[in-house]
Amino acid sequence: GGFLQKRRLGSTEHKGPVLNLIHGADGEDGTMASLFSFFGIPFIGPRTDASVLSFDKRMTKWFAKGRGINTVAYEGLHSARMRQTKVPMPCIIKPSRLGSSIGVSVVKHENELDYALDVAFEFDDSVIIEPFIAGVKEYNLAGYRGAEGIVYSIIEEPQKQEFLDFDKKYLDFSRSAEVKAAQIDAALETKLKLTFADIYEGLFEGALIRCDFFVIDGEVYLNEINPIPGSMANYLFPDFQGAVADLLENLPRAPHVRVEYRYIHSINTAKGK
């Protein structure tokens, strides 16, 4: 499989591999992964099942729970249900299937709840509501599976204000491109890496992902999985070009399914009886 580039005097075939850089819907929800897999195009990026699980915030929490990983308590709410929540104020409301902080609001008082839900439901018919924890420690860690196992990036402690919306994440260029490793002890570094490995193994092979973690009372909590992180988290790797080359050489191969026709012949034979 591959792509054809049409020219005036014919076309040129490009057989890949492909680097999936589409952030958000289509790129991260499994659409592109399914397309590449169906046509047999090798690609760097999460496979279909990994995309589906990590793009939906509720499914991410279910997946994490199944692997024994902490997440912040939450309540799910559908647009067709009563607009009530047991989550105490302040809380944070997020569309279930969207990234980049689009449609996300911090609600400090109950009289702000309806408007925040209106905003979130503009983007998805399902939202999650979490308690807003001010001043929580947050750490970002990226990685991929290479020739020698999982390769980790540096661990970043984002220096941010109370909440980063879309504009602050993508339209504010005042942040320096240089990222320094977080000043944390060896025990916490080990916890973060082990949690990342528990998330990655058996699901995200072939992808470079970034996980955003909270640390609350010394315990690690998964906040979000970024299956196709912005800028591919290149700023977290000392040698990003080498990382991509390593990942490219170790892409998972689809299992070969042997096609046998004896069952079809048996069915056809049985039909003739």
Q: What is the pLDDT of residues 20-68, one digit of tens each?
A: 999 888 899 999 999 999 988 999 999 999 999 999 999 999 999 999 9
Q: What is the DSSP letter of 235?
A: G
Superfamily grouping for domain 75-131: ATP-grasp fold, A domain (3.30.1490.20)
Do the two domains 14-70+135-248 and 75-131 of this chain adopt the same fold?
no
Contact predicate 204/50, CB 8 Å: yes
Domain ranges for the chain: 14-70+135-248, 75-131
Q: Looking at the predicted structure, is the pLDDT value of residue 162 above 60?
A: no
Q: What is the pLDDT of residues 111-140, one digit of tens each?
A: 999 999 999 999 889 999 999 988 899 999
Collect all residues with Cβ–Cβ distance below 8 Å to 10 and sequence separation of at least 6. none
Collect all residues with Cβ–Cβ distance below 8 Å to 241 and sequence separation of at least 6. none
Percent of the chain with pLDDT over 90: 65
Of 173-177, 212-216, 217-221, 224-228, where does mean pLDDT reach its minimum? 173-177
Give residue 272's pLDDT band: very low, low, confident or very high (50, 70, 90): low
Cα four-point dihedral sign 41, 234, 166, 113 = positive
DSSP-assigned beta bridge partners for residue 5: 12
Q: Looking at residue 175, what is its pLDDT?
A: 46
Nearest CA among 203, 184, 215, 185 for reference residue 70 = 215
Q: How many C-alpha atoms does 132 have within 13 Å on its Cβ side? A: 15
pTM for the model: 0.84
Q: Give me the CATH code for the 14-70+135-248 domain, please.
A: 3.30.470.20
